[in-house]
Structure 1
Amino acid sequence: MGWGNIFRRRVKVFSLAVLIYLDYKALQKRDKFMKSKEKSEMLWKRAHERNAQRVRNLMIQSEGLWVKLGQYLSTRADVLPSAYISLLKQLQDSLPPRPLQEVCHTIERELRKSMKELFLDFDENSLATASIAQVHRATLIDGRKVVVKVQHEDIKRIILEDLKDAKSIVDWIAWAEPQYNFNPMIDEWCKEAPKELDFNHEAENTRTVSKNLGCTNKYDSDKPINQVDVLIPEVIQSTEKVLILEYMDGIRLNDLESLEACGVNKQKVVEEITRAYAHQIYVDGFFNGDPHPGNFLVSKEPPHHPVLLDFGLTKKISSSMKQSLAKMFLASAEGDHVALLSSFAEMGLKLRLDLPEQAMDVTSVFFRASTPANEAAEFVKSLDERRTRNMKVLQEKMNLSQKEVKRFNPIDAFPGDMVIFSRVVNLLRGLSSTLDVRIVYQDIMRPFAESVLQEKIARGPSSSEQWIYDTPVHSDVEAKLRQILVELGNKDKILGIQVCAYKDGEVIIDTAAGVLGRYDPRPVQPDSLFPVFSVTKGIAAGMLHWLVDNGKLNLDESIANIWPEFGTNGKNLIKVHHVLNHTAGLQNALANLREEHPLLMTDWDECLKRIAMSAPETEPGQVQLYHYLSFGWLCGGIIEKQLFDLSTLKASYTLEFHQVWNLVLQR
């Protein structure tokens, strides 16, 4: 391809990018003044249809990298409009084939033999034609049935030029719409994509993945739980531009009618593919980066095993990165903010500001269960709402204008290894949406992620000499306590713990042991911070008794007399002493907060309102049930309503109690 053709190709690509951008921006502005929802939806549908057609036509004409991009987009039925999916999925394996003469010339040049010397039979019609190569069935001289993958002429130069164009377009998008900065992704793609152009590299990748997954051409029902049952063709021969593989008869994963006719369980197939990728990522640290539907077959005979194809784009990650990815996944599954941020730091993902809730929200979306295609529109809407909510938090935290927040990128550094990993997870999600199945990734991938951290997670004292943090033993009592902690740790009764005790003003126990979290192997130290709940119940109760001792409160007084809003829904008989001895019947008054929104627990006034609106489950004073969550707000509400001015309490209480407990009260 001459420079003139490359220039014309580049002009076509950039012209289309600008045309589509202006088309959508104009419709976006017009939509603001649209009163009819039906008319708005119709206009957006037409815009998607005409732009999808434009994109598809350009990709077919241009081939090369743009076909690979189209293949990726065609799998994202969970986020892209159906018009794009229906047109772009044609790019998965049905491009116009290259002339047979060109194919034969490449084979003979690469293998240094004539076609007659190599094959008893060579099918002139290609099985599939993709962005880089096309595949033909053949029979070797020794009678073996094979497929021959032949690279297109001059495709290397085209791909490298396309990468430059893609980089320029991404730079332009990042300038025009700063919230869509895909530079880390295109940078990693520029590094990895050229590797696909050497079929010797692909052959070695195929052998490695096959060995890692323990693949054979036979079904094995007795494999260990973290082994997978997929098939991978055997490599027969390879050169830079020709790859000969064992022939495996199967159904294309995007041939939904044939899958249905053969009675294939699509749910089971996609689950097994997901397990295979979880094994590659978390166990092997070596995974195929291109799981689009065109790269899979399903064996025609029961039990209909997935056949994995095309290992040109394969990523190898370090052991530390593998562990960081596993830790990130498990921290997201557990809702462990500390472990999540720790995994970010370990993998080199740096944020410009501290937003743990938003980080957890984004990660949870990333590892969410897949969305069937018919739910895609609703899901995209929910994603927009999440993004708007997170941008508002960012705007408030950074004190930015609406224009400034659009251009602010909260990510300071994004590790390149995460790019291909993210691509794989998104392609797998798109795959399940295309086949209209729902995959719960946290269930399927969890055993594989946990296996990576087996040497680090929740190990007891028997396997770690530093399980009890190395600090001086202050007393015989502390020595005995440490023995007990070791026994409990070996029985998996303790994950991490701190114990401190004073006697007559002297420290007699100051022990830390274990780890910070199930998936956070950092040791618990004496100054490690933990969120605390029930340990403050004693302080809250002590404050009430202090008020009683100072004549400011009566234990037999009805709470409704102090706190009028409290006297609703049958709570008018609850007295102060009922709260203190856990017989108020309000043990579950705030139980739904954690499911509704855990952060509501930080809203003092909202929690007091909910306490006031609650109803007792038992008659006051009759049944003693631990008020595990509501106790602090019950005590705090009484104190606040009784004193009106909490500054008086803070001053008096601190003065008296600080002398005894060396305690500073903060609210």
Structure 2
Amino acid sequence: MTSLKLSRLLKYSLIGSAAIGTAVSLHGNQYQLNSIGIVRLSRAAVTVFQIGVIYKKDLYGKGLDKNSQEYKELKSICHKRSAEKLLELCCTNKGTYIKVGQHLAALDYLLPSEYVQTMKVLHSHAPTNPIEDVYKVIREDLKKDPFEIFQTIEPEPLGTASLAQVHKATLTDGTVVAVKVQHPYIQGNARVDLKTMEYLVKIMSWVFPEFKFQWLVDETKKNIPQELNFEQEGHNAEKVAKMFEHVEWLKIPKVIWDLTTSRVLTMEFVEGGQVNDLKYINEHGIDPFEVSDKLGKLYSQMIFINGFVHSDPHPGNIFVKRSERGDCDIILLDHGLYANLSDEFRVEYANFWLSILNRDRKAMRLHSANLGIKGDLYGLFACMVTGRTWDTILKGIDQQKQSKSEKELFQREFPNVLPQISGVLDKVNRQMLLIFKTNDLMRGIEHTLKTSARMGAFCVMSQCCVKSVYSERLCKENSKIGKFKIAFAQFWALFKIKLYYSMLSLRQLCKLQILST
């Protein structure tokens, strides 16, 4: 497609949506001209046009052999330039655009590394709104002047996210709290932004037919309304706190409901350091392996047993601190986005993981097909789920630590199959998309903590997978004898897992002793 044709497509899309977008956005943004739909739409359209030109003119227009080193190097340069354009758009339009940018940054291994690395800055350096905007939302939602409610509100936010920012404050009775306040114009922008993204994704699909991005639009349209409702976030926090009330090391800040609305969430203030802050972890005598083990247990339980998964575990949302018991506590923040997994999906995903751990290619193909990925793409799907190469999967990912060379090979080869990856993301069961994001964010934390490929993590995950599969069978069995047989089969499977990983640990310990002598 030529630049001229792309320009015409953009022109027709702009005309088609400008009138409605302008009227809706003007009202929703209280007539703040810089935030109205036509302005935001124009910025996005120009950015997409510029990105299209970068690829068409500076890459595809060169006529280079796609297998040549020169082509690969030039493609990397184009990815980087385009990612920087996209980052600039996200930071300028803010709100929903930052949320999409953060989602892209979480898809490590699944998108070109140039995009992932460039967009990762949005996890910790999202644009901040002035304190006056925070006061404005508090006045509108709580119907009082902020200083009738709070003794103090620190003007510098503790953290800024795509949809809100959090400030430390003190109530009039001296209680220290964290106040999460939504960016003031984001609700007015969200509807127009989502419609704009849908138009632009369609245009990008015409320009690059091998890439399918509709899944990203669909996910954003589904998730943004949930994340914009802070009352729902409060209910999610209470639900997960109840679900894990028996886990003494998991801390969920309590919600203060009389100071909470759909745009203001007030919670107890909890001290701690970000999970990727190695300086804090070392200074407070926290064991990184303990942190990884506890996170592994938590997320295995969420995914395979409960089917209610905190789906935004980037480092800014997970804090750690040394407890009075002498071990470490995990503090889980930002409960706006949860994946609700159906029992059918949860069991299929558990079976798929067991087939990977058992290196059973026939079972991998079967359960991959049940999750929406049919045919020979099951191998690529397994690589995307695990973040490991196919050779490592066949050798046993629970026995092979990820080496530097494997990671480099993974990152080098995956760009060559991006159209196939795009196809997988387009076809896979929709519930899988948030799991991809969650898996990649968790792998990123483990990489930072240098605790990847722990056998303990695979053992816990295997046990949770087995419990998920056999619990489903127990629910469907009516006879007492049948239930007894299934319960015994589960006991035996769990026993074999424990024995297997105990033997692996012993073998690894013997190797270390031999090497040290």
Instruction: Please give the TM-score of this superposition, normalised by the length of structure 2.
Output: 0.72
The DSSP-based 3-state class of the residue aligned with 2:256 is strand
The DSSP-based 3-state class of the residue aligned with 2:170 is strand
Which residue, 357, 367, 390 being the options, matches 2:386? 367
Amino acid at match of 1:366: V
Name 1:424's counterpart in structure 2: 438
Amino acid at match of 1:27: L
Q: Distance in 2 between matches of 1:491 and 1:345?
A: 29
Which residue, 332, 337, 347 being the options, matches 1:323? 347
Q: Distance in 2 between matches of 1:457 and 1:167?
A: 41
Q: Looking at secondary structure, tell me which structure has more helix per residue.
A: 2
- 1:239-388 matched pairs, under 5 angstroms: 239-299=261-321, 303-337=327-361, 339-340=363-364, 343=367, 349=372, 351=374, 355=375, 357-369=376-388, 376-384=407-415, 387=417
Residues 145-174 of structure 1: CA deviation (Å, up to 9, x unaligned): 210001111211222222222223333333
Alpha-carbon deviation of 1:367? 2.4
Evaluate the alpha carbon distance shift between residue 266 and residue 87 of structure 1 in structure 2; reply closer, same or farther with a 3 A threshold. farther
The DSSP-based 3-state class of the residue aligned with 1:450 is helix
Evaluate the alpha carbon distance shift between residue 452 and residue 11 of structure 1 in structure 2; reply closer, same or farther with a 3 A threshold. same
Name 1:209's counterpart in structure 2: 240
Which residue, 201, 222, 231 being the options, matches 2:251? 231
- 1:549-628 matched pairs, under 5 angstroms: none
The DSSP-based 3-state class of the residue aligned with 2:327 is coil
- Matched-pair contact (CA < 8 Å) for 2:64–2:71: no
- 1:331-480 matched pairs, under 5 angstroms: 331-337=355-361, 339-340=363-364, 343=367, 349=372, 351=374, 355=375, 357-369=376-388, 376-384=407-415, 387=417, 414-433=428-447, 435=449, 437-439=451-453, 442-455=458-471
Q: Which has the higher contact order (CA 8 A, sep 6+)?
A: 2
Name 2:505's counterpart in structure 1: none
The DSSP-based 3-state class of the residue aligned with 1:358 is helix
Q: Distance in 1 between matches of 2:67 and 2:468?
A: 54
Q: Distance in 2 between matches of 1:202 and 1:329?
A: 30
Q: Distance in 1 between matches of 2:403 and 2:246?
A: 30
- Matched-pair contact (CA < 8 Å) for 1:96–1:129: yes
Evaluate the alpha carbon distance shift between residue 332 and residue 101 of structure 1 in structure 2; reply closer, same or farther with a 3 A threshold. same
Residues 252-285 of structure 1: CA deviation (Å, up to 9, x unaligned): 2344544454454444423422332221121111
Number of equivalenced pairs? 441
Name 1:32's counterpart in structure 2: 64
- Matched-pair contact (CA < 8 Å) for 1:251–1:298: yes
Q: Distance in 1 between matches of 2:331 and 2:177?
A: 15
Alpha-carbon deviation of 1:45? 5.6
Name 1:499's counterpart in structure 2: none
Name 1:597's counterpart in structure 2: none
- Matched-pair contact (CA < 8 Å) for 1:78–1:429: no
Amino acid at match of 2:378: A
| Gaps in structure 2 of 5+ consecutive residues | 1-24, 28-32, 389-400, 497-517
Alpha-carbon deviation of 1:345? 6.3
The DSSP-based 3-state class of the residue aligned with 1:312 is coil
Amino acid at match of 1:278: S
Name 1:60's counterpart in structure 2: 91
Name 1:615's counterpart in structure 2: none
Alpha-carbon deviation of 1:340? 4.4
Residues 209-245 of structure 1: CA deviation (Å, up to 9, x unaligned): 11112267xxx4xxxxxxxx43221112221111011
Alpha-carbon deviation of 1:6? 1.5
Q: Distance in 2 between matches of 1:443 and 1:30?
A: 51
Evaluate the alpha carbon distance shift between residue 285 and residue 12 of structure 1 in structure 2; reply closer, same or farther with a 3 A threshold. same
The DSSP-based 3-state class of the residue aligned with 2:335 is coil
* Identity value in percent: 26
Name 1:95's counterpart in structure 2: 126
Q: Distance in 2 between matches of 1:166 and 1:375?
A: 36
Q: Distance in 2 between matches of 1:350 and 1:45?
A: 29
Alpha-carbon deviation of 1:359? 1.7
Evaluate the alpha carbon distance shift between residue 293 and residue 28 of structure 1 in structure 2; reply closer, same or farther with a 3 A threshold. farther
Alpha-carbon deviation of 1:188? 3.1
Alpha-carbon deviation of 1:7? 1.6
Q: Distance in 2 between matches of 1:435 and 1:74?
A: 19
Alpha-carbon deviation of 1:200? 0.5
The Cα RMSD (Å) is: 4.0
Alpha-carbon deviation of 1:83? 5.5
The DSSP-based 3-state class of the residue aligned with 2:188 is helix
- Matched-pair contact (CA < 8 Å) for 1:333–1:364: no
Alpha-carbon deviation of 1:372? 8.1
Evaluate the alpha carbon distance shift between residue 58 and residue 410 of structure 1 in structure 2; reply closer, same or farther with a 3 A threshold. closer
Evaluate the alpha carbon distance shift between residue 139 and residue 420 of structure 1 in structure 2; reply closer, same or farther with a 3 A threshold. same
Q: Distance in 1 between matches of 2:402 and 2:37?
A: 39
Residues 410-437 of structure 1: CA deviation (Å, up to 9, x unaligned): 8996433222223322332344345554
